[in-house]
Amino acid sequence: MILGIGLIIIGVILLPLGVVSLKESWEEKKDLSFKRKMVVIFLEILDVFSTPILSAWLLGLSLLMIIGGLSVILLKM
């Protein structure tokens, strides 16, 4: 149970770091036209799944820790 709570706490701490990192990467693309933004968004989605990006790793790791912590807590009940 303590392991599950620890995983949830670490996941909640990492989640805002990933969001801030992702937000900073989007600030660079703010002044593009609508069509170019759509292309960039599509390529960013593909890029998240293909290459390691810090923001994607932080978001994925935090979600895995939160889900893992919840599953540990639910299995111990």
pLDDT tens digits along 10-57: 888 888 877 777 777 777 777 888 888 788 777 776 766 666 677 777
* pLDDT at residue 70 is higher than 80: yes
What pLDDT shows up at residue 48? 65
Q: Return the HEC string of the chain.
A: CHHHHHHHHHHHHHHHHHHHHHHHHHHCCCCCCHHHHHHHHHHHHHHHHHCCCHHHHHHHHHHHHHHHHHHHHHHHC
pTM given for the model:
0.62
| Residue 7 clears pLDDT 80, i.e. is over it | yes
